[in-house]
Amino acid sequence: MNLRLPAGTPGAKIIGLGSFQPENVVTNDDLARRVATDDQWIRDRVGIVERRIAEKDTSLVDMAVEAGSRALKDSGLEPSAVDTVIVATCTMTAPIPNAAAQTADRIGITAPAAFDLNAACAGFCYGLGTAADLVRAGSARNVLVIGAEKLSDWVDWDDRSTCIIFADAAGAAVVTAAQSADEVGVGPVSWGSAGDQATTIRVLEESTNKLWQHGQAVFRWATTQIAPVALDAVARAGLSPADIDVLVPHQANLRIVEAVARRLHKEGAREDLRVADDIVHSGNTSSASIPMALDHMRTAGRIRSGETALLVGFGAGLSYAGQVVRIP
């Protein structure tokens, strides 16, 4: 006897966005009082002017709850309509229990499938790709995907090469079924990993137990290998670079963002392509950076409903993932 499977749907779309940042602003001058650096040095290397760092008593889950609730409110769905919650994160201080189940509970979502996903800074795009396929397969109806990171727990505040980069935040999206093919708002994911370079971004378990990265190696990888992933995502969606209105790369370093944009321009992206630069005032917030940049750009009127955005995440693993989405 054959096993029965759900009918599935034409595909998925994003119907809500939300984000959360802690109130505490840390400027470059604040960091210069702690490590040997200065405002101009930081702006030149990474393009960051200020970042938000959570208070000690604000947890990763607190931020996930805020961003998730805001995305849900934006979608118009009741918490009871959500049946799956994915939290993309790599910065939980304890691996047990996961963030997703408690986040769902605090938002008022009852008994959803709930799991954490660790693809570091590519986590949101991994989560979005997973959510879209769950919806398409009929395994989930409405999925809340949250990228939440409290990187400040893992930053070595005496290491001037990394403490200037990372910050805390959460960003979220609500994914639901498209009723018809022309309503589909999440394109196929282009994803992969490079485990041979796993040691280039890691927690130094043998010494500080803090985050460390080989800046030059990661920069070389990101500036050469990520634009092809983004272009592959565009091709898989049946589009060309000229169809893209907004480019939202993971906000790792403004110079990486600009390098990816330059490559896209060489491949036919339009002159008026808008490029996310949320890192300038938010820092690198790993899996939170892409949904938060989308949310901030929409609030600022820089992107409009129905526009086509190209997302691409990349980071520790090394991992990468990208897809084309329609702005809700």
Partner 1 sequence: MADTAEILSGLAEIVEEVAGIDTAEVSADKSFVDDLDIDSLSMVEIAVQAEDKFGVKIPDDQLAELKTVGDAVSYIEKNQ
Catalytic residues: 121, 250, 284
Q: Give the nearest distance from C-beta 194 to partner 1 in angstroms.
A: 15
- Helices 39-46 & 254-266 angle (0-180, nearest 10): 30
Q: Concatenated DSSP letters for 231-294?
A: HHHHHHTT--GGG-SEEEE--S-HHHHHHHHHHHHHTT--TT-EE--THHHH-B-GGGHHHHHH
- Do residues 184 and 137 lie in contact, with contact meaning Cβ atoms separated by under 8 Å? no
Contact in structure between 138 and 8 (CB atoms under 8 Å): yes
Provide the minimum distance between the beta carbon of 41 and partner 1 in the complex, in angstroms, as a whole number: 9
How many residues bind partner 1 (CB under 8 A)? The answer is: 13
Are the C-beta atoms of 187 and 237 separated by less than 8 Å?
yes
Smallest distance from partner 1 to CB 222, Å = 10
Residue among 106, 214, 265, 281 that touches partner 1 (CB under 8 A): 214
Cβ closest to partner 1, residue 34 vs residue 220:
220
Of positions 49, 81, 217, 239, contacts partner 1 by CB under 8 A: 217
Binding status of residue 224 toward partner 1 by CB under 8 A? yes
Structure tokens at 258: 């600009």
Stretch that binds partner 1, among 64-72, 88-96, 218-226, 300-308 (CB under 8 A): 218-226
Does 259 sit near partner 1 (CB under 8 A)?
Answer: yes
Site for partner 1 contains 38 (CB under 8 A): no
Max distance between CA atoms of the chain, in angstroms, equals 70
Stretch that binds partner 1, among 64-72, 169-177, 214-222, 282-290 (CB under 8 A): 214-222
Interface with partner 1, residue 215, by CB under 8 A: yes
Residue 311 bridge partners (DSSP):
248, 323
Cα–Cα distance list, 300 to 184, 225, 296, 297 (Å): 25, 30, 6, 5
Closest separation in Å from C-beta 5 to partner 1:
47
How many residues are recorded in the chain?
328
Q: Which is nearer to partner 1, 44 or 78 (CB)?
A: 44
**Is residue 45 a contact point for partner 1 (CB under 8 A)?**
yes
Selected from 7, 216, 271, 301, the binder of partner 1 by CB under 8 A is 216
Binding mask 164-203 for partner 1 (x = CB under 8 A): ----------------------------------------
Among 25, 160, 219, 267, binds partner 1 (CB under 8 A): 219
Backbone angles phi, psi at 184, to 5 degrees: -60, 130
Question: Counting Cβ atoms within 10 Å, is residue 119 exposed (0-12), middle (13-18) or buried (19+)?
Answer: buried
**Measured distance CA(174)–CA(196) in Å, rounded:** 34
The residue from 59, 162, 223, 284 that contacts partner 1 (CB under 8 A) is: 223
Given candidates 29, 30, 38, 44, which one binds partner 1 under the rule CB under 8 A? 44
Q: Which two tokens stand for residue 43?
A: 């702006």
Q: Which residues bind partner 1 (CB under 8 A)?
A: 44-45, 214-217, 219-220, 223-224, 253, 255, 259
